[in-house]
A = this chain, B = another copy of it.
């Protein structure tokens, strides 16, 4: 029925071992023999049995990529970049690896489940992207899983995530705090004092770090008028809309809204516009991430650009052992403030 290694061996008149070695290319095989084997593979239209191979070799060519939401370009971009880099270590043809994209939906349980599933598959590597959940028990559980994975030979890399203690997983974390601080400083410099903050979901490191940066900038400038102006919600458009409406209600004198990410910022814009406010004449708006659509918003969104693709590509390379881990295991990736049309001086400034 299905063609096996043995069939190929028979046709090429060599032993199965030789065929395996030709296919894996990690053992010297005479050129003539190799040719013969390759021809037989071709003739028979042979396709290696992945599970069998993984079982015998105790490792598969699967690479897990955990994301919170693959429908969100933030994660899509990272997943894409990781995937483009996960060719085999030697760069050989046939060093093909498959990216397994796991959508956790931000759920701790699913994160753990997927980690187990990846462990079950004997994944070659795992890349965890996006912010982590701050629950202590969950962090410990994740750390445990990551340790087991590492023990089993799976390389673990974190991208856009804080390092996990008690683990030697390499981490590329985004400087969310610094970026947020710079962004809020920009608004303060423009003269804003009543700045609403549309935050992400609670218990997420990303949410906390960005909010912290915002608050640090406010504190630094001695601005207290904005202190209570924070509304939380999921990282999506609807939440941005709702949170902004809420902020507007509690503080109609708002002159600026900072959103925890670009998607929420878009929702914020919609809410403001619906309230009859112009951007940036009446209220300035800023986002975070600089996703592709942000430059096309009208007015173009002031935001903090995160080098998502670069960082994820690097994470992919580290996962494949094609690039050294950052010294100390952690590297902080900075964002860049992109000042565009959605922010301006406040009314009467």
Which residues in A have some Cβ–Cβ distance to B below 8 Å?
A: 2, 45, 47-55, 60, 62, 69-73, 75-77, 79-80, 83-84, 96, 98-103, 113-114, 116-122, 148, 152, 237, 266-267, 269-270, 273, 292-293, 295-298
A47 contacts B119, CB within 8 Å? yes
The number of times this chain is found in the oligomer is 2
Contact A120 B48, CB 8 Å, known A101-B101, A237-B296, A298-B298 = yes
Bound CA–CA A59/B326 (angstroms): 39
Q: Chain B residues near A50 (CB, 8 Å)?
A: 51, 54, 60, 117, 120-122
Least CB distance, A64 to chain B, in whole angstroms: 8
Bound CA–CA A152/B1 (angstroms): 9
Q: Chain B residues near A100 (CB, 8 Å)?
A: 62, 98-101
Give the one of A49, A51, A69 with max B CB within 10 A.
A51
Least CB distance, A49 to chain B, in whole angstroms: 7
A55 contacts B47, CB within 8 Å? no
Least CB distance, A104 to chain B, in whole angstroms: 11
Q: Chain B residues near A266 (CB, 8 Å)?
A: 293, 296
A79 contacts B101, CB within 8 Å? yes
B79 contacts A70, CB within 8 Å? yes
B83 contacts A103, CB within 8 Å? yes
Q: Chain B residues near A118 (CB, 8 Å)?
A: 98
Bound CA–CA A240/B96 (angstroms): 33
Q: Chain B residues near A148 (CB, 8 Å)?
A: 45, 47
Q: Chain B residues near A77 (CB, 8 Å)?
A: 71
Q: Chain B residues near A54 (CB, 8 Å)?
A: 50-51
Contact A47 B101, CB 8 Å, known A76-B71, A296-B297 = no
Contact A49 B237, CB 8 Å, known A72-B76, A270-B296 = no
26 A-B pairs in the complex with CB atoms less than 8 angstroms apart = A49-B122, A50-B117, A50-B120, A50-B121, A50-B122, A51-B51, A51-B53, A51-B54, A51-B55, A51-B60, A62-B62, A62-B100, A62-B121, A70-B80, A71-B76, A71-B77, A71-B79, A72-B73, A98-B102, A98-B117, A98-B118, A237-B292, A237-B296, A269-B296, A269-B298, A296-B297
Q: Chain B residues near A121 (CB, 8 Å)?
A: 50-51, 62, 98
Q: Chain B residues near A297 (CB, 8 Å)?
A: 296-298
Give the one of A113, A114, A120, A267 with max B CB within 10 A.
A120
Least CB distance, A348 to chain B, in whole angstroms: 25
Bound CA–CA A103/B84 (angstroms): 8
B70 contacts A76, CB within 8 Å? yes
* Residue in B closest to A61 when the chains form the complex, CB atoms: B117
Q: Chain B residues near A117 (CB, 8 Å)?
A: 50, 96, 98
Least CB distance, A72 to chain B, in whole angstroms: 7
Least CB distance, A160 to chain B, in whole angstroms: 15
B79 contacts A120, CB within 8 Å? no
Q: Chain B residues near A270 (CB, 8 Å)?
A: 295-296
Q: Chain B residues near A79 (CB, 8 Å)?
A: 70-71, 101
Bound CA–CA A98/B60 (angstroms): 14
Bound CA–CA A79/B50 (angstroms): 23
